[in-house]
Amino acid sequence: MNYSKNFIHNSFRLNGNSFTNFTEVLNYTAKISNDVFLFLEEWFSESNSVIIRTSGSTGKPKNIELQKEKMFNSAIATGNYFGLKAETTALLCLPINYVAGKMMLIRALTLGWSLDIVQSNANPLENVSKMYDFSAMVPLQVENSISYLDKIRKLIVGGGVVSNPLLIKLQNVSTDVFATYGMTETITHIAVKKLNNFSPLKTNFNKSNYYTTLPNVSIYIDERSCLVIKALKVSEKILFTNDVVRLISDTQFEWLGRFDNVINSGGVKLQPELIESKLVKVLEKPFFVAGISDQLLGSKLILVVEDFISNTQELKIDIINNMKSLGVFTKYEIPKEIYFLPEFKYTESGKIQRNETLSLIGF
């Protein structure tokens, strides 16, 4: 299937309504959602591209121009990979302001899905009574929807890291759940990894499963061990990321963390995401680690916990002792300071804004 302007698959349905042309789609969406209408008005315009704003979770938000043909190709790739053909029932519960929400619309238009739109909030399935073949969520939505996930047959999760406690909960749901790797520049995901419902031969879900690239995607690493992506079907440029990875094969990789988050403490390089993956065994409250300026070490490791407590000194001692007793932390991975905040700063998708949160402490 090749891209053509104003294309609408004849099986496309939106909230149960069918359409014969794009004007009917625009007239309908103008009544239900201004954000959906404005995006589709741009999609059906004569321009060959659309402007999409990034979420700002890994840097300052910015506008990116995406070619409509590349977005069309991305929709086809998702449909082929997950076997989502015409008349697939799908639920859009993500904000339409960002690429993930917009691509749910484009997939439905392109592949002929029956798409329902519900309000994007922290618990989107609470008032949903229907079953759906496919949906996409951020981790915060998945966490709050655990008891309702059986309403979705296949679910992709993006916009943040799936925590280990959430991963454990997902082993008890029937929904096939996949983590996605991608960014606005790659028009959502270029790689996925299965999070649950493994075969009996795969029992260590946390370590035996890696991201696998979609077809027509090539990957390698640069001198920083950061992922480089060549996916000409969805991006005209070779993309040099700041994601530190370990290559497993030509089509598989393990994500380790962000290069721009690496802490150089006294000459020892610390990857916050790796430390945080161990800390989930110690802390139940939201937290993150970071590096702050230090005269002796250059940067020193700190731990920031979202909790409102009075006796912080006693809890600090308990945390340090628990970390040491586990035997999985090196001496360099033990934080030099621990701070508590009653509330973190978050993005719309539920990701912690580290720098903005650190500014609340005064860093």
Q: Where does the pLDDT of residue 57 fall: very low under 50, low under 70, confident under 90, or very high at 90 and above?
A: low
- pLDDT score of 200: 63
Closest of 259, 288, 345 to residue 163, by C-alpha: 288
- pLDDT score of 297: 92
Say whether pLDDT at 120 is over 80: yes
Report the percent of the chain where pLDDT is more than 90.
78
> What tokens does 30 get?
């103008």
**What is the per-residue pLDDT across 4-47, written as a single tens digit (0 to 9) for each?**
888 999 999 999 999 999 999 999 999 999 999 999 999 999 99
Report the percent of the chain where pLDDT is more than 70.
95
| Predicted structure pTM score | 0.85
d(CA 177, CA 157): 7
**What is the per-residue pLDDT across 213-239, written as a single tens digit (0 to 9) for each?**
999 999 999 999 999 999 999 999 999
Nearest-5° angle of CA 78, CA 79, CA 81?
Answer: 65
d(CA 170, CA 176): 9
